[in-house]
Amino acid sequence: MNQTIKNVKLALRQIGFYIPFTWYFVLFAIAAGIGTFWLKAQEKIPGSAFTDIFALLFRFAVCFVLLILALAFVSVTFSLIYFIWKKNKKGIDFRITTPIVNETEKDKQPIDIYLHPILKPFLGFIKLRLKYDKTHYSQKFYLVKPVVKSFFNTTLTGRYNWSLPEIKEYRTEKVILYFEDFFQFFSFAVPLDSNGSFYTQPVFQASKMTNAFPRKTEETSTRIEEIKKVEGEHINYKNFESNDDVRRIVWKIYAKNKELVVRVPEILDPYASHIYLYASYFSAFEFSGNEVLEIPFLNYYKTLCWSAYKQLQQKGLEVRYVTDQTIPQTQISNEEEQIKYNISVCNWHRDKELKEYIKPKDASVVIISSLSDAEQVSQLLEQFGNEISFIFVPLTDCLNKQHLGDWLQWIFVQQEKDAIATYKTNWSLSLLRVKINRNEKLLKQILGQYDKSKVLKKIS
């Protein structure tokens, strides 16, 4: 029953998108009707000059209004017919791209739109509405367009700063274009199929960071501050020579082949060039349908993962980000933007556990969350806690705790005014809250035993 009601509401909403006039026209028509009724109700002296002049002025006003409305209607109709003609000839080029986010504009998620060919109504407007992620629709919006010197332009380009709730990739299935006149009385809608995508990006947040050093040498181009052991491959052997340490003789091979060979010893290499950053999105808890975990917690984790990457990069070493899930193929050529995209499209999962994901001989920094398996973290720390820097992101820090006063205000004074307040309330009532809080405390206790482990928090 509830699903039927939702489907009916969605259908009615979609029908409303295609109504060919706006609320401005409705208000104008009501005001014009009331004004006409009031003027005609005024007492007039039959046969007087005032009556004749009043009737003439009234007719002139009506004709002027009709002429203006006709011009508005014709300009919109002409642009509409031109676009439909081009659409039927399959000559429309529509593209959505994600520009680089300015780190100072943290609350804006810009998208760039390109559409060609299209004619803007004379002194009118072209607005858009996007259908994305199958069932969601954006508000009707107007593009912030660059300065165009040409009066006659058949290309629509511009930027829209969209406040979206999640850091992820969005896919568009349809764009609805609205052709509106200069009074915004008429609004003719035309749907256009779209197979585009764009993604919202994490932004840099200052946070308390730890030092990290490479575990593996790939290019001896950058000298590091701390000499690290670079292990030789255990399958690499060489024949025994007189100056070799007899303790390195592989007696198993001698017993089998009667050959004296020694392992290639590990060396101390003062040069390295890459830091391998691992960020685990594995969840030891069932999270499906939990909006708090899937939106604010995930956004917070992605933001701090990106911040950790940037801060490590600022130390002068190249950072290699290793993802734990399949990333869609892109045409992004810039490595840093590709990593930002990789972080944006990641999600919590239950497929690849921490022990399957991390390669200890390569890993320099490992980021874990409140959803990580404490037992696996403990095992990794016991083996590599003094070699790998483990960074812990306590997810509950993104929501301030609710106190008694907040509960009383919510119950007796007012409803939630924003999404954060709603998330706080939902998290306070969630059955997972106690389990995850307990897991957080356990992880902090485990990490506290190792000097190289840190709890990552953004600096507000």
Q: How many domains does the chain have?
A: 3
Same domain for 290 and 400, yes or no, is: yes
Same domain for 312 and 251, yes or no, is: no
* pTM across the whole model: 0.74
Q: Considering 182, 199, 216, which residue would you say is the last residue of a domain?
A: 199
Same domain for 97 and 245, yes or no, is: no
Q: Is residue 216 part of a domain?
A: no
CA distance 449 to 453: 8
Domain ranges, residue 38: 16-199
Residue 90 tokens read as: 């399959």
To 10 degrees, the CA torsion angle through 437, 441, 443, 449?
170
Residue 243, C-beta contacts closer than 8 angstroms, at least 6 positions apart: none
Q: Is residue 236 part of a domain?
A: yes
Model confidence pLDDT, tens digit, residues 283-339: 999 988 888 899 999 999 999 999 999 988 887 778 899 999 999 888 888 888 899
Same domain for 105 and 249, yes or no, is: no
CA distance 186 to 392: 55
Same domain for 237 and 341, yes or no, is: no
CA distance 54 to 73: 28
Model confidence pLDDT, tens digit, residues 132-189: 888 889 889 988 877 555 667 888 998 888 888 889 999 899 999 999 998 889 999 9
Same domain for 175 and 194, yes or no, is: yes
Model confidence pLDDT, tens digit, residues 402-427: 443 443 333 334 444 456 677 777 88
Q: Is residue 6 part of a domain?
A: no
Q: Is residue 224 part of a domain?
A: no
Same domain for 308 and 363, yes or no, is: yes
Nearest to 28 by CA among 184, 189, 188: 184
Side-chain-side CA neighbours of residue 293 (13 Å): 22
